[in-house]
Amino acid sequence: MAFGKGHHLHLIDGSAFIFRAYHALPPLTRKSDGLPIGAVAGFCNMLHRYVEGNTGPDAPTHVAVIFDKGSHTFRNEIYDQYKANREAMPEDLRPQIPLTRTATEAFNIACKEKEGFEADDIIATLACQARDAGGRVTIISSDKDLMQLVGDGVEMLDAMKNRRIDRDGVIEKFGVGPERVVDVQALAGDSVDNVPGAPGIGIKTAALLINEYGSLEELLDRAEEIKQPKRRQTLIDMRDQIEMSKRLVQLDCETPLEFNLDDLEVRDADPDVLMPFLAEMEFRTLTKRIADQLGVEPPAIPDAPTKAAESAAAPEMPPLDASNYTTVRDAETLKSWVEKAQARGYVAVDTETTGLNEMTADLVGVCLCVDPGKACYVPLAHKASAGDDLFASDDLAEGQMPFNDALAILQPMLEDPSILKIGQNMKYDAKILARLGITVAPFDDTMLMSYAMHGGEHGHGMDTLSERYLNHTPIPIKTLLGTGKSQITFDKVPIDDAAKYAAEDADVTMRLWTLFKPQLHQAQVTRVYETLERPMVKVLADMEMSGVKVDRDVLSRMSNAFAQKMAGLEAEIHELAGETFNVGSPKQLGEILFDKMGLEGGKRGKTGAYATGADVLEDLATEHELPARVLDWRQLSKLKSTYTDALQEHIHSETGRVHTSYVITGASTGRLASTDPNLQNIPIRTEEGRRIREAFVAETGKTLVSLDYSQIELRILAHIADIPALKQAFRDGLDIHAMTASEMFDVPLDEMTPDIRRQAKAINFGVIYGISGFGLARNLRIPRAEAQGFIDRYFERFPGIKDYMNDTKAFAKEHGYVQTLFGRKIHTPEINAKGPRAGFAQRAAINAPIQGTAADIIRRAMIRMPAAIEGQPATMLLQVHDELLFEVENGAEDALIDTARDVMEGAADPVVKLDVTLTVDAGKGQNWAEAH
DNA sequence: CCTGTCACG
DNA sequence: GACGTACGTGACAGGG
């Protein structure tokens, strides 16, 4: 069928692709022969991403990449200085030009050029032909010269910003419609192409004049009428030059072409052509990725003879070798290591202990590394081997320095302000040493460096980092400790084995630091690392060691009450089912509900079991008793097992308090995670669950004070997406959800109903999460079409939100990460994936800057807090994302609230000037339920 | 060890 | 035209 109505032609400006690729990438060379290849690599990546993105109803039916050919065109006949000021093509780009043609053909995309014609003219000709045939055209370029073609089904797409430019976009840029763009350009000229235009007249003035006179010709004919003398004279004197400029910028829609639109039909790539090409270029990642997607075996790409090119930038390091490590057994040797650290000015430190819980684990040994490859282990508390003896020995193993002697030598070094201590997860070691009276400072943390540079890309544990960046798999701890029931603690490990493992850890840490330190700067995250990551170590270590008092009796009483209620419910459930079964087994429950009782709506998950989640049961509960009872039972079961029972296990035997551990690198967005136990998910939403918080109490004579940011994420959204109505509402202290509802549903605020407000609230939150019609529909339990209607209305009312979402997605697609207002990078490696994963990644990308900025803000508040409340009888205990919990001596609560509120509300200053104020609510009470 | 479920912001 | 979708976490129980 000939090109016509219903067809959609994409025209890609090939030169633009090449130059962008060239400038976006470092000067890569082909490993085998050093051929410059960066631009081709970037070009192929862009083509591939382009092809990947071509799904959906808007996908093109026809496509071509258009290139310039030859430097002499008809425009040089008109004006010999045309494009004369262009810089010569960079030497390393020239040989890549023909390869981009080959690449285009390898992707099986039509590749067109014509001697003596600019790509723009070919694009213009094809666009005109396609438009005349009744089809649609998208020109993928940001070249403003092409804007004259827009209109009547022709649009431009700025692939860089992922922004479509239609007629309105052109008017925004040039102040006139596409048909008058050439007139404006003729007047304004173009310094890039060396088009002279009218001196002293830019786009703004040109648009003004053209709009007033209707056309360039009219303007020039009536130039005498212009009031401004200088402008009038210019137009009269420069008439010839202006008219010539117009001929220069006017695209030629009549380029003679040896092919027609039908030759441009979209074709699938042929793996037999594409894969060999990519392999020949030695694009390892891209070859593999595309092979995976095409479902073919990736061709082998031989490794370059040397790895020199790759490691040139990386510091030189000797290979890891355990035989070089020493075991320190006497004071003299230890002192010599400390002296080495002193001389160096930095030292990697790692502690070995009897467990993972810093509040209960005991120090077993310390290792130091002063240089990659030079590491030692100082065993301190290894137990003598029990040998065949069944009775474990409490005696210390031979050949260890006295514990306190060693610490006395190490302490000055660990506290020496002129020696940088380098650790991997320093919070752990700092807490272990703090319990022994040692304050480690100053320090660097390779885990946090990795998090600052690679957050969202991968985990930041030592094994991961070592494998990824050192190409070395450290000795697994399991080989020393065993696993499961027979697992032993580190103090039972023979010293020789322990030394190899421990010293290697310090060595690996030192190597990672050597590698990461210069990279932090290159990745432009030094400030994030130094102001948002590293200072958290001390703040959190102190909070964790403080712990929060938990009243065991309260929990225990609740536990018993829950057990009784659950027993009653269980009996009822069995009665209703007509048989006994394990209510806690989703599998058995599903079979009872859908097989035995024959209820409708059973859906099986991937394991073949029926889904019995709360949403499913809630639907069934309107008609049936049993699922309703199961829901009640489940709630109690959760509260009992996770909270009233498990929390008691976490009460420290000496402090009587619960000491959580925060994972600084736990969440990709910059939020903290809380583990062992998780104190960030203590119930609050239901009355019954909320009572768990009554067990979190203040010490006698003290009070708990809670401060939390009000609507911080919505405020950040208002700022980032620049939504005037939202910002104003926050300034006016309005009920933000009611305001949204009022705007969307045209309901005056004084006639607002709780239900309408509830819907608006769901939409507000949905926006933060990267809303979808489906998600909102499910949340509100309304038809999907209705939910979509709400969203459309919302975007219509707050168009900045839609822009924010599109801009953020485009940024992520281009850069592979998004950023918070404070510069934290959150990587989005899946953003260019195919299938449902792309959707996930896009929504995560939309959410990350908002959630991440809020996380940055509370981090800043926490870091400033200790100095701010210095002297006040108050301790910061917990953080729950937007809340800080303090324990304060009675009578000092209000002073603490004043201070802490100031710190929290001003936490963005002075780095970020928010358009919205941050507001903090405060409460106090004998327990957490009262305080919140 | 994985899956389903559910607690929080 | 169908599919599958709200963002970020951690803990527990069941089951292979």
Residue A608 sits at the vertex; the CA angle it makes with A606 and A609, to the nearest 5 degrees, is 105
Indicate whether A876 and A845 sit together in one domain: no
| Å between CA of A779 and C1' of B2 | 27
| Å between CA of A610 and C1' of C4 | 18
Would you tell me which residues have their CB within 7 A of strand B? A 586, 590, 605-607, 609, 611-614, 616-617, 631, 634-635, 638-639, 642, 680-686, 689-690, 851, 880-883
Contacts of A478 (CB under 8 A, 6+ apart): none
Give dist(CA A241, CA A586) in Å, integer: 81
Residues of chain A with pLDDT under 50: 305-312
Helix extents (H) in A523-666: 526-528, 534-546, 552-577, 586-590, 614-621, 625-638, 646-649
Indicate whether A343 and A391 sit together in one domain: yes
Nearest to A334 by CA among A412, A263, A270: A412
At A213, which amino acid appears?
A: Y
Max Cα–Cα distance, chain A, nearest Å? 112
Residue nearest to nucleotide B2 (CA to C1'): A607
Indicate whether A248 and A113 sit together in one domain: yes
Residue nearest to nucleotide C11 (CA to C1'): A642
* Both tokens assigned to A925: 């009470």
Give dist(CA A682, CA A655) in Å, integer: 21
Across all strands, nucleotide nearest A678 (CA–C1'): C10
Contacts of A774 (CB under 8 A, 6+ apart): A784, A787
Indicate whether A563 and A506 sit together in one domain: no
| Å between CA of A7 and C1' of C1 | 19
* A312 in a structural domain: no
End position of a domain, from candidates A836, A853, A870? A853
Nearest to A718 by CA among A802, A637, A801: A801
Across all strands, nucleotide nearest A483 (CA–C1'): B1
* A316 in a structural domain: no
Give dist(CA A631, CA A612) in Å, integer: 10
| Å between CA of A478 and C1' of B2 | 21
Please report the sign of the dihedral spanned by the C-alpha atoms of residue A271, residue A272, residue A274, residue A275: positive
Give dist(CA A429, CA A540) in Å, integer: 13
| Å between CA of A879 and C1' of B1 | 31
Give dist(CA A696, CA A878) in Å, integer: 11
Indicate whether A496 and A517 sit together in one domain: yes
| Å between CA of A14 and C1' of C15 | 57
Three-state SS at A378:
strand
Give dist(CA A924, CA A930) in Å, integer: 6
Indicate whether A827 and A883 sit together in one domain: no
**Confidence at residue A14, expressed as pLDDT on a 0 to 100 scale:** 92
Question: Which 3-state string (H, E, C) describes A775-820?
Answer: HHHHHHCCCHHHHHHHHHHHHHHCHHHHHHHHHHHHHHHHHCEEEC
pLDDT in tens, A606-649: 778 888 888 888 888 888 999 999 999 999 999 999 999 999 99
**Residue bearing tokens 């060595």:** A507
Nearest to A852 by CA among A877, A809, A810, A817: A817
At A274, which amino acid appears?
A: L
List beta partners, residue A817.
A827
Nucleic acid strand C within 7 Å of A584 CB: yes
* Both tokens assigned to A809: 């997605």
Nucleic acid strand C within 7 Å of A53 CB: no
* A694 in a structural domain: no
CA distances from A169 to A44, A452, A794, A804 (A): 29, 37, 22, 17
Nucleic acid strand C within 7 Å of A672 CB: no
Nearest to A725 by CA among A673, A644, A837, A801: A801
Structural contact between residues A431 and A359, judged by C-beta atoms closer than 8 angstroms: yes
Across all strands, nucleotide nearest A769 (CA–C1'): C7
Give dist(CA A403, CA A808) in Å, integer: 55
Say how many Å lie between the first and final Cα of chain A, rounded: 69
Can you give the C-alpha Rg of chain A in angstroms?
A: 34
Three-state SS at A826:
strand
Structural contact between residues A917 and A688, judged by C-beta atoms closer than 8 angstroms: no
**Confidence at residue A455, expressed as pLDDT on a 0 to 100 scale:** 93
* Cβ atoms within 10 Å of A236's Cβ, excluding its own: 12
Across all strands, nucleotide nearest A839 (CA–C1'): C5
Indicate whether A118 and A251 sit together in one domain: yes
Range of the domain at A300: 271-306
Indicate whether A730 and A834 sit together in one domain: yes
* Both tokens assigned to A674: 């809380």
* A810 in a structural domain: yes
Indicate whether A204 and A277 sit together in one domain: no
* A542 in a structural domain: no
Contacts of A124 (CB under 8 A, 6+ apart): A146, A149, A251, A252, A253, A255
Helix extents (H) in A819-882: 836-868
Nucleic acid strand C within 7 Å of A674 CB: yes
Across all strands, nucleotide nearest A647 (CA–C1'): C11
Give dist(CA A786, CA A229) in Å, integer: 61
* A41 in a structural domain: yes
**Residue bearing tokens 């990659």:** A372
* A900 in a structural domain: yes
Structural contact between residues A128 and A137, judged by C-beta atoms closer than 8 angstroms: no
| Å between CA of A635 and C1' of B6 | 8
Q: Please state whether the predicted TM-score (pTM) of the whole model is above 0.85.
A: no
**Confidence at residue A487, expressed as pLDDT on a 0 to 100 scale:** 84
Indicate whether A114 and A211 sit together in one domain: yes
Nearest to A236 by CA among A181, A199, A205: A199
**Confidence at residue A622, expressed as pLDDT on a 0 to 100 scale:** 86
**CATH code where residue A52 lies:** 3.40.50.1010
Give dist(CA A879, CA A887) in Å, integer: 13
| Å between CA of A835 and C1' of C3 | 9
Which bases of chain B come closer than 7 Å to a protein CB? 3-9
Nucleic acid strand C within 7 Å of A473 CB: no
Residue nearest to nucleotide C4 (CA to C1'): A836
Sheet holding A657-658, edge to edge: A657-658, A548-550, A696-697
Residue nearest to nucleotide B3 (CA to C1'): A607
End position of a domain, from candidates A808, A825, A853? A853
Please report the sign of the dihedral spanned by the C-alpha atoms of residue A218, residue A223, residue A228, residue A230: positive
| Å between CA of A632 and C1' of C6 | 26
Residue nearest to nucleotide C9 (CA to C1'): A673
Residues 820-839, chain A, CB closer than 7 Å to nucleic strand C: 836, 839
**CATH code where residue A783 lies:** 1.10.150.20
Residue nearest to nucleotide C6 (CA to C1'): A775
Give dist(CA A452, CA A446) in Å, integer: 10
Sheet holding A136-140, edge to edge: A110-112, A62-66, A8-13, A136-140, A154-158, A163-165
The single-letter DSSP state of residue A496 is H
Nucleic acid strand C within 7 Å of A795 CB: no
Three-state SS at A749:
helix
Mean pLDDT for chain A? Answer: 90
Backbone phi and psi for residue A62, each to the nearest 5 degrees, phi listed first? -135, 145
Structural contact between residues A394 and A374, judged by C-beta atoms closer than 8 angstroms: no
At A382, which amino acid appears?
A: H
* A168 in a structural domain: yes
Helix axes A712-720, A754-768, angle to 10 degrees: 60
Residues 73-132, chain A, CB closer than 7 Å to nucleic strand C: none
Residue A866 sits at the vertex; the CA angle it makes with A863 and A871, to the nearest 5 degrees, is 165
Number of domains in chain A: 6
Indicate whether A251 and A275 sit together in one domain: no
Q: Is residue A574 classed exposed, middle or buried when 0-12, 13-18 and 19+ CB atoms within 10 A define those classes?
A: middle
Peptide bond into A677 cis (omega under 30): yes
Residues 297-326, chain A, CB closer than 7 Å to nucleic strand C: none
Indicate whether A60 and A137 sit together in one domain: yes
Please report the sign of the dihedral spanned by the C-alpha atoms of residue A667, residue A672, residue A677, residue A678: negative
Nearest to A40 by CA among A105, A101, A87, A119: A101
List beta partners, residue A369.
A348, A375
Which bases of chain C come closer than 7 Å to a protein CB? 1-15
**CATH code where residue A908 lies:** 3.30.70.370
End position of a domain, from candidates A853, A881, A907? A853
Nucleic acid strand C within 7 Å of A663 CB: yes
